[in-house]
Chain A
Amino acid sequence: MAAPPCDAPLTAASNIQPFFVLHKAAAASSAPASRGRRRADSSQPSLPGPKSSKRSRDVDASDEDVSELYQRLRLEAFHRTWSKIQSTIDEVLRGINLKLFDQVLHWIQESFSAIRAIAKPHHSEIQQPYPLITDVICRRIPAAFVLTKNAEFVDDITTFRDLAEHLESNGCHLAKLSATELSPKNGVGGCFRNLLRQLLSDVPDVADVSSLASWYCDTENYDQPIIIIIDDLEQCSGDILGELMMMLSEWVIKIPIFFVMGIATTLDAPRKLLSSEALQRLEPCKLTLGSPTDRMNALVEAILVKPCAGFCISHEVAVFLRNYFFRHDGTITSFISALKELWREKIEALPEAMQKYAFSLPSCTSGKNSSDPSISISEGLLELLKLQRDWSAVLLCLYEAGRHDKVQLLDIFCEAINPDLQNASNRDLFSKTTSENLSGAKLGSGNRFIDQAMNTVRYLPLETLSRVLDVWSAHLKGMSEISDKLKELQSTTIGADNVRTAKEKWTRKYLVPVECLPFHEIICFKNVGILQSALIGNPRRMVQLDLLKSQSHLKCSCCSRSGTAVSGSLHDTSIMCNLAQEYGDVINLHDWYIAFEEQDSAEPLLRCKSPVFFGCQAREGLILCRESHLALRDLNRRDPVADGIKALDSIL
C-alpha cells in the first residue's frame, strides 16, 4: 500500500481496505477500466510508493519525461500534504483516547496501592511456592473491561497499541495476549510461556509462575504492576483465559498482575465467555472508549469543517461517506482511507481544474460574476477561503447547540453542504407563507437536523445557553459583525428566542454550501464514483488483477510471455479466474476445481517449472481465495496487494 514513511504510526489504520465478494466484482473492475490508463496505473491506492512510480515510469517512458516529472511532483505533494492531514487525524484521535488512557492509568495505580495495602510481601516471600497467609481473603485480579462500543474491531487495534505504549511509558510492565495465543491449541501452558517471553529476557525451559516471581523480585522490576492487555476478549477461548486467570489469581498478592480487556459488544461477553469460577476471581471495572460517532464528529470537525486539508467535499460525497459509515462499515479506519483517496484524487485533478480556469469555470460563468471576467483567480480563492471559514464557524455553532439534542456533526454537515439548502432558503425568503404549506414536507426532511439544532436553542436551560454562547464566541472570533452581536446577547440575560432569531439570521447568511460558491471546483471534491470504487471496488479489483496476472508476480520462465491468454501452466486459481471472467456468471468454485483435478489426472500438467502449484497446494490457494471473503479477519483487512502476493507466495 502506498504507505509513505510519514504515516507509519497509523499504518494499521491507513492500510486497511475492505474486501468484497469476488463474483460481484464485475461492475467495479469495468468502471476503472473506462477511466483510462493514467488512473489505472498511477492512482491505485494500494501500490507501494516506489513501486507505483516505477510502474508509471515504465508506461510513461515511451510518452514523455515531463509528465513523469509532474507525476512525481504530484505524488510528492500528495505525500507531504497527506502527512499533514494524517497528523491532524492522529492528534484528534489521540486526544479522544487520552482521556481513557489516563483513566486506565489511574485505575492501575489505585488497584496497585489497594493490593499493596493488603500485604507488602518480602522478596523471599514472593518466591515461596505456597501462598501467603493473610487475613484478608484476596484472590481477585483487578480487571478493567474497556468497552470499545463498536462491533467492528479495526479501529481499536491502534487504540490498544497506543494504550500499551502509554502504560509502558508510565512504568508498568506490559504484556499483550491476543486471541490466537488464548486458543485451545496453545493451551494455558503455551499462553503462559508467551506471557513470560514478553516479560523475561531469558525464559527457562520449564516455566511456571515461580520463574515469573523471581523475575519480579529483581529490584528494577519490583514495585510496578504487570498489565496484561487482551484487546479482543470476544475471540478468546473462555476456557484457556479462565484457567490463566485462576492460575494468576493465586499469586495476585505476590505478583500484581492486572488485566485490561477490550470488549467490542456488551458486558455480557465476559459473562458468557468465562466460567463463574473465573469471574469470581476478577475484580472488574468498566471503562468506555469514545463511541465511533464521537470520534467521527471530532474527525469531521477537524478535517472537513475546519479548513485543515485545504479541500472540501461536495454534498453528494458527504452523503455517500455518511451512508457508508452508518450502513456498511462503521469504522473510522475506512473513513480515513476514504479521505485519503479523496485527497489523492484532488491532487491528481488539481491541474485540470486550473487548466479549466483558462476556459472559465462553470461556477464563475453561471454565477453573478459572469459579467466580470477580470476577477483574478487569487482574489477569488481568497474570497472562497474566507467564506469557507465563516461557513465552518457558523456550522460549528450550530453543532454546539445541536449536540445538546444529540445531533451528530456529520448529519448537520451533510445538510449544510447541500446546495439545495441555498436554493430552498432563497425560495423561502420569497414565498414564506406558501412554502410552509406546499413544500413543508420536503423542506422539513431536508433541513431536519439544522432545524432540530435551532429548536434546541429554544429549550436550553439558561446556564447551558450561556455556556453555548461562550463556545460560540470562541468559534466566531474572526467574524467581527457577529461577535459584536454575540457580546450583546451575552451581556443582556436573554431569552432563548432572541438567540434563536439571531442564529437563524446568521445561518441564512453564512451557511452557503460550498458548491454555490465561485471557484469551488478547485478545492471541492465531487466525484463519488472514484470514491466508491476506492472503498468498495479497489481491494477486490486488486485480488482479481493479481489472479489474472499471476505471471508478473511469479516470474517463472515458462509463463513469462505477458499475453492475456490462459496458458496451461498457470495456477489453477488463476486459470479459473480467467475463465470465470469470460464466463461472466456466478460459478461454482468447487465443481470447477473438481473438473480441473480430473483434467490434471488425465493430462499431467507438469509443464510449469513449479509443479507444486498443483494438487494440494492449489487447494490451499483456493481455500485462501475463498476464505479471504468469508474469514476476512484472516487477511485482517490488510493491504490487498500484499495479501494477494502473500497468497501466491504461500502457494509457492
Chain B
Amino acid sequence: MSQPVTPRRTTRSCAGSAPDPASPSSPPRSRPKPSPRRQLLADTGAAVTKEEEAEGKGKGKRRIVALLEALPGRHAQATDLLRLLAPAPAPPLLLYGGAATGKTRALLLALRYVRPRPRRVAYAALRSLPSIRALFASLLSQLGLASSSSSASSRQRVPDKPSDFVAALRDALAGLSAQGEAVYLVFDNLEVVRSWNKGDQLLALLLRLHDLLRLPQVVIIYVSNATPDAYYSMTGSIEPNHIYFPDYTVDEVRDILMRGHPNPKLYSSFLSVTLKPLFRVTRRVDELAATLEPLFRKYYEPLGDSKSIPEEGMKRKLFEHIQPHLAVALNETFSVPLRASIEKYKDGSSGVKASAKRQFGSRDNLLTELEFHMSVSAKYLLLSAFLASRNPATLDAALFDSTGGSDNRRRKRKSSQASVAMKDNLVEEMLMKGPGTFPLERLLAIFQCITSVSEDTLSDVECPNSIMNGSGVAGLMSDVLLQLSTLCNSNFLSKSRSCPLEGSARYRSNIDEDLALKVARSVGFPLSKYIYRR
C-alpha cells in the first residue's frame, strides 16, 4: 500500500464526490503477495473508507491512530504533520533530522491520511535527479496532465532557465489548484543541492518558491538532513514551519526492528544482547538493521533453525556463541563476506597445510599474505616510493650510501637532548602532514639503491642456475616506468598533474605501513632499517 495518490485516481475521486472504491486509501486489488505490514495498512485504509462513509465523529482520531500505528516512535511528529498539512493555505514545511529517522516515510504516510485529500502530490527526490533540468522536467511532468507525461512532449517543454521553470510551474499549478484542493510539492534530500553545480542558486529558488508562486493552494514541503539554519540565513523568504525528527531511542529502535518478525521471542532475546552495544556505535536504524542481520544468522546457528524458541539455558549458550562475533561487528564498519562456496572449493584444493612450513618458498608466502600478485620489480618500486614519501629527502644521502646505509644511522643516535626534541617535532610534523611528495628522479634513485643492495641475494634465491643474471635484462631496472604506471593505476601511488614538458610531475605513495611491510617481507627486504623514525 505504498502508493497513495496516483494522479488519475485522484482526479476521478474529485470529479465524483461520492466515496470511490478506487480511492487511494482503499485496499489494493490484485496485489500479488502482500506482506503482513501491507495487510495492516490495507485494513486501516479500509477502516478509513468505512469511516468516511459513516461520516462519524471520531474520523480524525481513527486516522491518527492508523498513522501512528505505521510510525512507531513518531507520535508527536505525526500529529504535527497532520495538523500542519491539513489546511490548504499553509506556509511551507520543513522536515529535518538525521538520516534514517523516518522523515520521508512519515511524510508519505501523512499525505495519505490528510484530509481533505491532496489533489496532487509532486515528489522530487533531489538525490536521484542528476541535474537541474531533470528536476524541472520531473516536477512538470508530474504536475502536467496525464497525457503530457509522454516523452515527446516533455522533451519540448523542459525549461532551461529558472525563470521559465517558475512560469511553467505556475501555469501548471494554477490550472490544478483552481478547483480548490491542495497540491503538494515535496523536495526530498534538499541538502544534496548544495553540492550541485549552481546549487546555491537553485536552493534559493526552491526556498523562495512559495513567494514566487503565490498560490495559496500549493503546499511546499522540504525534507532535509540539515537543520533549518543551514537554509534560512541565505534568503529573505518567510520561514517555514518545521518539524524535527530526533534520532530514535534504543527502545524505539527495538520496536522498529521487532515489527513483523517471524520469531519475536528469539529475536527479542537476540536484541537484548546485541542492540545496546551496537547502539553505542551507530543510532541509524538502517545501519543497525544491516549489522544485525548477519549477526542474527550467527546467533541461531547452534539452534539449527530460526523458528525454534530457546529456553533460559540455551539463551546463555547462544550469548556465549555470539559474543566474539559481536566484538568484531563493533569494530568493523564495512565487512565483506566471502561466498561460502569458494571456501569449500579452497578447502578441497589446499589439502596439506601444516606439514612442512619451512619449505614454503618465499614467493608463495607472499601470495597468501599479500593476497595479490605483483612482480618483484613493482614491489621494489613500491617500497622505494613508500620510503620516498615517508623519509625526508635530506636523509636520502645518509640512508642510501654505497653500503646500504644502516651503519650511518648508528652514529646519529648520540645527539643532544635539544636536537632529539627538535627531531621529535619534525617527525610529528611529518606525520601530521602525511606522506610527502617526491619527484620521479628521487624515486628512481632510491629504487636503484635498494635494488642494487638486494640484487645479489635475490638472484641467489630466485634462480640458482640462471644464465640471465649477469646480462642485465633480468635485472630489475629495465622497465621501471612500466611498473610505475601499474602502481599509479592501482592507487598505490598518486601522481600530481603538472606540465609534462617540465617533467616535474610529483608522486606520492598512498600505502600504509602495514602493506609496505607485507610487501617488504615478501621480497625479503629489511624495510624497517630504512624507515626514518626519530
Which residues from chain A sit less than 8 Å from chain B, CB to CB? 18-21, 24, 99, 103, 106-107, 119-122, 124-125, 128-135, 137, 139-140, 145, 147-153, 187-189, 192-193, 202, 204-211, 232, 234-235, 246-247, 250-251, 264-273, 276-277, 279-280, 282-288, 291-293, 316, 319-320, 322-330, 404-406, 408, 411, 418, 420, 445-446, 448, 452, 455-456, 459-461, 464, 528, 532, 536, 589-590, 593, 619, 622-623, 626-627, 629-633
Nearest CB in chain B: distance from A265 CB, A: 5
Judged by a CB distance under 8 angstroms, whether B178 is at the interface is no
Q: Which residues of B contact A128 (CB under 8 A)?
A: 2-3, 6, 123
Q: A125-B2, A135-B37, A264-B490 are in contact. Are A405 and B360 (CB under 8 A)?
A: yes
Query: B491–A130 contact, CB under 8 A?
Result: no
Query: A137–B372 contact, CB under 8 A?
Result: no
Instruction: List 3 A-B pairs, minimum CB-CB distance, nearest first.
Output: A189-B130, A135-B37, A330-B375
Option from B124, B476, B491 in Cβ contact (under 8 Å) with A129: B124
Query: A251–B375 contact, CB under 8 A?
Result: no
Option from A106, A147, A204, A280 in Cβ contact (under 8 Å) with B155: A204
Judged by a CB distance under 8 angstroms, whether B531 is at the interface is no
Say which size band chain B's interface belongs to.
35 or more
Q: Which residues of A contact B138 (CB under 8 A)?
A: 129, 208, 210
Known: A124-B6, A128-B6. 14 other contacts (CB 8 A): A99-B345, A120-B33, A137-B100, A151-B372, A151-B486, A189-B131, A250-B125, A272-B491, A285-B337, A285-B338, A286-B338, A293-B373, A464-B352, A631-B488
Q: A286-B338, A322-B463, A327-B474 are in contact. Are A405 and B375 (CB under 8 A)?
A: no
Q: Which residues of A contact B286 (CB under 8 A)?
A: 137, 139, 280
- Per the 8 Å Cβ criterion, residues 423-466 of B in contact with A are 462-466
Nearest CB in chain A: distance from B366 CB, A: 10
Query: B489–A446 contact, CB under 8 A?
Result: no
Query: B372–A266 contact, CB under 8 A?
Result: yes
Nearest CB in chain A: distance from B340 CB, A: 10
Nearest A residue to B491 via CB reads A234
Query: B491–A235 contact, CB under 8 A?
Result: yes
Assembly CA distance A288 to B339 (angstroms)? 9
Nearest CB in chain A: distance from B27 CB, A: 14
Q: A134-B2, A405-B352 are in contact. Are A633 and B125 (CB under 8 A)?
A: no
Nearest B residue to A325 via CB reads B375
Query: B337–A153 contact, CB under 8 A?
Result: no
Per-residue A-contact encoding for B268-298, CB less than 8 Å = 1, 0 else: 0000000000000000011101100000000
Q: Which residues of A contact B154 (CB under 8 A)?
A: 204, 206
Option from B109, B127, B515 in Cβ contact (under 8 Å) with A247: B127
Assembly CA distance A106 to B345 (angstroms)? 15
Nearest CB in chain B: distance from A238 CB, A: 10
Assembly CA distance A268 to B374 (angstroms)? 16
Q: List 23 A-B contacts (CB under 8 A).
A: A121-B2, A128-B6, A128-B123, A145-B336, A149-B373, A152-B375, A153-B486, A187-B130, A205-B158, A266-B515, A271-B334, A286-B339, A326-B375, A328-B478, A329-B479, A455-B356, A459-B356, A464-B351, A532-B473, A589-B503, A590-B501, A631-B485, A632-B482
Query: A120–B342 contact, CB under 8 A?
Result: no
- Per the 8 Å Cβ criterion, residues 284-320 of B in contact with A are 285-287, 289-290
Assembly CA distance A192 to B490 (angstroms)? 24
Q: Which residues of A contact B376 (CB under 8 A)?
A: 326-328
Nearest B residue to A627 via CB reads B500
Query: B485–A130 contact, CB under 8 A?
Result: no
Nearest CB in chain B: distance from A535 CB, A: 9
Judged by a CB distance under 8 angstroms, whether B172 is at the interface is no
Option from A287, A408, A418, A630 in Cβ contact (under 8 Å) with B505: A630
Judged by a CB distance under 8 angstroms, whether B418 is at the interface is no
Assembly CA distance A369 to B179 (angstroms)? 110
Option from B35, B341, B463 in Cβ contact (under 8 Å) with A319: B463
Q: Which residues of A contact B468 (CB under 8 A)?
A: 316, 319-320, 323, 528
Assembly CA distance A543 to B32 (angstroms)? 65
Assembly CA distance A268 to B345 (angstroms)? 24
Q: Which residues of B contact A322 (CB under 8 A)?
A: 463
Assembly CA distance A18 to B123 (angstroms)? 54
Query: B500–A208 contact, CB under 8 A?
Result: no
Judged by a CB distance under 8 angstroms, whether B13 is at the interface is no
Assembly CA distance A122 to B481 (angstroms)? 55
Option from A247, A283, A590, A627 in Cβ contact (under 8 Å) with B502: A590
Assembly CA distance A265 to B515 (angstroms)? 11
Query: A265–B377 contact, CB under 8 A?
Result: no
Query: B3–A264 contact, CB under 8 A?
Result: no
Judged by a CB distance under 8 angstroms, whether B218 is at the interface is no
Assembly CA distance A593 to B155 (angstroms)? 51
Number of A-B contacts (CB under 8 A): 300
Judged by a CB distance under 8 angstroms, whether B355 is at the interface is yes
Query: A147–B371 contact, CB under 8 A?
Result: yes
Q: Which residues of A contact B486 (CB under 8 A)?
A: 151-153
Per-residue A-contact encoding for B322-357, CB less than 8 Å = 1, 0 else: 000000000001111111011001000001100110
Residue from A99, A107, A329, A626 whose CB has the most chain B CB atoms within 10 Å: A329
Nearest CB in chain A: distance from B389 CB, A: 16
Query: B467–A147 contact, CB under 8 A?
Result: no
Assembly CA distance A55 to B480 (angstroms)? 34
Option from A124, A209, A630 in Cβ contact (under 8 Å) with B485: A630
Q: Which residues of B contact A234 (CB under 8 A)?
A: 489-491
Q: A20-B479, A459-B356, A536-B478 are in contact. Are A208 and B134 (CB under 8 A)?
A: yes
Assembly CA distance A325 to B463 (angstroms)? 13
Q: A205-B155, A276-B333, A455-B359 are in contact. Are A327 and B3 (CB under 8 A)?
A: no
Nearest A residue to B8 via CB reads A124
Q: Which residues of B contact A452 (CB under 8 A)?
A: 359
Query: A129–B372 contact, CB under 8 A?
Result: no
Residue from B1, B373, B484, B487 whose CB has the most chain A CB atoms within 10 Å: B373
Assembly CA distance A207 to B155 (angstroms)? 10
Nearest B residue to A441 via CB reads B464
Q: A19-B482, A124-B6, A139-B286 are in contact. Are A232 and B375 (CB under 8 A)?
A: no
Assembly CA distance A207 to B151 (angstroms)? 10
Nearest A residue to B334 via CB reads A279
Judged by a CB distance under 8 angstroms, whether B213 is at the interface is no
Judged by a CB distance under 8 angstroms, whether B19 is at the interface is no
Assembly CA distance A193 to B133 (angstroms)? 13
Query: A418–B479 contact, CB under 8 A?
Result: no
Assembly CA distance A134 to B363 (angstroms)? 52
Residue from A121, A268, A626 whose CB has the most chain B CB atoms within 10 Å: A268
Nearest B residue to A626 via CB reads B500
Judged by a CB distance under 8 angstroms, whether B361 is at the interface is yes
Query: A404–B351 contact, CB under 8 A?
Result: yes
Assembly CA distance A211 to B149 (angstroms)? 11
Per-residue A-contact encoding for B492-505, CB less than 8 Å = 1, 0 else: 10000000111101
Query: A24–B505 contact, CB under 8 A?
Result: no
Judged by a CB distance under 8 angstroms, whether B108 is at the interface is yes
Assembly CA distance A150 to B36 (angstroms)? 48
- Per the 8 Å Cβ criterion, residues 106-123 of B in contact with A are 108-109, 121-123
Judged by a CB distance under 8 angstroms, whether B219 is at the interface is no
Assembly CA distance A250 to B367 (angstroms)? 39
Nearest A residue to B375 via CB reads A330
Judged by a CB distance under 8 angstroms, whether B50 is at the interface is no
- Per the 8 Å Cβ criterion, residues 122-175 of B in contact with A are 122-125, 127-131, 133-134, 136-138, 142, 151, 154-155, 158
Option from B37, B155, B197, B363 in Cβ contact (under 8 Å) with A326: B363
Nearest CB in chain B: distance from A46 CB, A: 17
Query: A327–B375 contact, CB under 8 A?
Result: yes
Assembly CA distance A111 to B463 (angstroms)? 48
Assembly CA distance A455 to B465 (angstroms)? 22
Judged by a CB distance under 8 angstroms, whether B176 is at the interface is no
Q: Which residues of B contact A404 (CB under 8 A)?
A: 351-352, 355
Q: A149-B371, A287-B342 are in contact. Are A456 and B334 (CB under 8 A)?
A: no
Nearest CB in chain A: distance from B344 CB, A: 11
Query: B489–A284 contact, CB under 8 A?
Result: no
- Per the 8 Å Cβ criterion, residues 353-395 of B in contact with A are 355-356, 359-361, 363-364, 367, 371-378
